[in-house]
Amino acid sequence: MTATTVYSARRIHTMNPAQPTASHVAVRDGRILAVGDLARLQAWGPHTLDERFADKVLLPGFVEGHCHLKEGSLWEWPYLGWFDRRDPAGKVWPGLRSMAAVVARLAEIDAEMIAPTSTAAAEAEASGAAQAPLIAWGFDPIYFGGERMTVAHLDGVGDGTRPIVIAHANGHLMNVNSAMLHAAGISAETEVEGVMKFDAGPLAGQPNGELQEPAAMYLVLKHVGNAGLLAPLSEAGLRAFGAIATYQGVTTATDLVNRLAEADLAVLRGACGDDHFPVRIVPAFQAFHGTHGAAAGAEHVRALIATSTDRLRFGLVKMMLDGSIQGFSARLRWPGYFNSPNGTKNGIWVTAPAQYEADFETYHRAGLTIHSHTNGDEASGAAVDAIERVLARAPRPDHRHTLQHGQMIDAPMFARMGALGLCANLFTNHLWYWGDQHHDMTMGPDRAHRLNACRSALNAGVALAIHSDAPVTPLAPLFTAWCAVNRITPSGRVLGAAECLTVAEALRAITLGAAWTLKLDAEIGSIECGKRADFAVLHDDPFELPPSKLKDARIWGTVLSGRVFSASE
């Protein structure tokens, strides 16, 4: 195809410093042919002038450098989170700010499931089985000021006979009702430590419905199958993800933990093989294995690279060193946690530092780009130490290895990262979603003020991206950029004004910055000749809005490799 389409726009922000803005962009064969004014583009010969974006603002398609495709499939279950959240169809589900609100929402869902038209009710009736369980996600007790959900809340839903399972936002806990406890055989006699019990009152010693950690949740998962965050990826879920990506302006997204086994690959290839699938996917191989798995893992990823297509890119490897800060499982340097509920001094290693270094070296020597989960500063430091030694043994120019989250990295550590060529993809959404909890509970004010220190990273010359970790927080790069620009918490506190980014810097971090960490910056991330024709199409110009309104810029849809995707269709 050699047809050329020229799009006119109210303004095009290119992210190309040599030509920051333009009025027209010419697209041929899914790539950008030229950028400028109409006269400059006409020199390329015959074209079709497409004016559908004449009143819109074009930016490079947003790149989400750390999210998970579950962001789409989780919506197969109802959402119970504290914050408002939009589903793939665009409907906003209001945040539930009290236990009563959570219970009321559950009662609505239960009533819908009872209705004769509901598929769940029909299926349960057809199979003669017990009532279909009600499974929901997104609940996070950290926002309820110490109040914990128990069976006392949940048993008031419906007639109390339908099993209810609520997966917490962090994936490590769940709450269930008495019907589910009974079905799972959980009683006062159950000795599993993660089966929480009432410690006082008439029910003292009875399970209260909160189940912590895998062994306790295993009892429930045996009965209901994998729920919530543990459910396998489906093609329908992937398409739901695509719908969210479109209305958030995202054209390239990672899936930053994927087994990449046959079933996973079939789902990815099924969706991405369709030209109407609206987002380019960069899955990262889940390098979570024993001490002898790295060689086979590296070989697997290298073989997959040869099968990459425009919409499906292999080559990324994900490793993991520690847990999460709000779960008090991240590894922190001195002085450790600030005000942890049970006196936790430090978190856990998910991978032993020595094994991390050995595995990292294997993947590094195979020429792959490794993204390492390090939340706490001790974990980030251990990664920097290990990578420094690996790079001394096996220098490799332009590796683009990236620390993911890196939430507590300070200026001296960024300086070391800069010297080693390490990139940072910081979790700026935490500033909003858990900023107050970090200030008051997890790390205290000193370190909360340098949480996700974007300015320090740029000062040290570290290539910077910022992310949502969706579905941990919603996929919405403009919101992520807003967090980096404003650093404000729900209580109105500004966490470290000196670390704020400008709007231009934040928008770069969600386009060219993220593309750099994926080593795709030669193809995507800016609007210039030769790159993929990937655009985020906005109604509003984010540079014209006050920085405090950046998250509110309205998005029309996207263009991916020259194909137009409207969010409203």
Stretch that binds another protein, among 9-17, 348-356, 487-495, 517-525 (CB under 8 A): 348-356
The least distance separating another protein from the CB of residue 355, rounded to whole angstroms, comes to 6
Question: 52, 292, 396, 549: which one contacts another protein (CB under 8 A)?
Answer: 292
Give whole-number Cα distances, 195 to 118, 207, 568, in Å. Answer: 32, 7, 45
Q: Is residue 323 within the footprint of another protein (CB under 8 A)?
A: no
Q: Is residue 351 within the footprint of another protein (CB under 8 A)?
A: yes
Q: Which two tokens stand for residue 491?
A: 């209580």
Binding to another protein in span 371-410, by CB under 8 A: 378, 382
How is residue 412 annotated by DSSP? H
Stretch that binds another protein, among 233-241, 285-293, 387-395, 528-536 (CB under 8 A): 285-293
The least distance separating another protein from the CB of residue 266, rounded to whole angstroms, comes to 15
The least distance separating another protein from the CB of residue 295, rounded to whole angstroms, comes to 7
The least distance separating another protein from the CB of residue 82, rounded to whole angstroms, comes to 28
| HSE-CB of 525 using CA atoms within 13 angstroms | 22
Residues 222-241, one symbol each (x = binds another protein by CB under 8 A, - = not), give x-------------------
Going by their DSSP bridges, the two strands 369-374 and 402-405 should be labelled as parallel
Q: Is residue 263 within the footprint of another protein (CB under 8 A)?
A: no
Stretch that binds another protein, among 53-61, 210-218, 434-442, 527-535 (CB under 8 A): 210-218
The burial class, CB within 10 Å (0-12 / 13-18 / 19+), for 69 is buried
Q: Is residue 215 within the footprint of another protein (CB under 8 A)?
A: yes
Binding to another protein in span 172-191, by CB under 8 A: 185, 189-191
The burial class, CB within 10 Å (0-12 / 13-18 / 19+), for 55 is exposed
Question: 61, 65, 141, 353: which one contacts another protein (CB under 8 A)?
Answer: 353
Give whole-number Cα distances, 404 to 17, 427, 568, in Å. Answer: 27, 8, 33
| Phi-psi category of residue 168: left, alpha or beta, with phi > 0 → left and psi -120 to 50 → alpha | beta
The least distance separating another protein from the CB of residue 339, rounded to whole angstroms, comes to 19
β-partners of residue 426 are 405, 466
Question: 55, 108, 125, 193: which one contacts another protein (CB under 8 A)?
Answer: 193
β-partners of residue 316 are 284, 369
Q: Is residue 95 within the footprint of another protein (CB under 8 A)?
A: no
Please give the backbone phi and psi of residue 371, each rounded to the nearest 5 degrees, phi first: -110, 120
Q: Is residue 328 within the footprint of another protein (CB under 8 A)?
A: no
Q: Is residue 298 within the footprint of another protein (CB under 8 A)?
A: no
> Is the CB of residue 483 less than 8 Å from the CB of residue 438?
no
The least distance separating another protein from the CB of residue 225, rounded to whole angstroms, comes to 11
Question: 101, 114, 192, 545: which one contacts another protein (CB under 8 A)?
Answer: 192
How far is 163 from 154, CA to CA, in rounded Å? 10
Q: Is residue 526 within the footprint of another protein (CB under 8 A)?
A: no
Question: 205, 214, 335, 445: which one contacts another protein (CB under 8 A)?
Answer: 214
Q: Is residue 133 within the footprint of another protein (CB under 8 A)?
A: no
Question: 116, 290, 395, 492: which one contacts another protein (CB under 8 A)?
Answer: 290
Question: 24, 70, 331, 487: which one contacts another protein (CB under 8 A)?
Answer: 331
The least distance separating another protein from the CB of residue 541, rounded to whole angstroms, comes to 44
DSSP symbols for 134-177: EEEEEE-GGGTTT----HHHHTTSTTS-S-EEEEETTSSEEEE-
Question: 121, 124, 350, 415: which one contacts another protein (CB under 8 A)?
Answer: 350
Going by their DSSP bridges, the two strands 316-320 and 21-28 should be labelled as unpaired
Q: Which two tokens stand for residue 115?
A: 């209705």
Q: Is residue 70 within the footprint of another protein (CB under 8 A)?
A: no
Please give the backbone phi and psi of residue 92, each rounded to the nearest 5 degrees, phi first: -90, 120
In the bound state with another protein, the residue whose beta carbon lies nearer, of 127 and 334, is: 334
Chain-centre distance for alpha carbon 69? 8
Q: Is residue 304 within the footprint of another protein (CB under 8 A)?
A: no
Chain-centre distance for alpha carbon 67? 3
The least distance separating another protein from the CB of residue 352, rounded to whole angstroms, comes to 5
Which of 554, 552, 399 lies closest to 482 in space, CA to CA? Answer: 552
Q: Is residue 362 within the footprint of another protein (CB under 8 A)?
A: no
Query: How many residues bind another protein, per CB under 8 A?
Result: 39
The least distance separating another protein from the CB of residue 187, rounded to whole angstroms, comes to 12
Please report the beta strands in 164-237, taking only residues with DSSP state E, as ranges in sequence order. 164-168, 173-176, 195-197, 207-212
Residues in the chain: 569
Q: Which residues bind another protein (CB under 8 A)?
A: 185, 189-194, 213-219, 221-222, 259, 286, 288-293, 295-296, 331, 345-346, 348-355, 378, 382
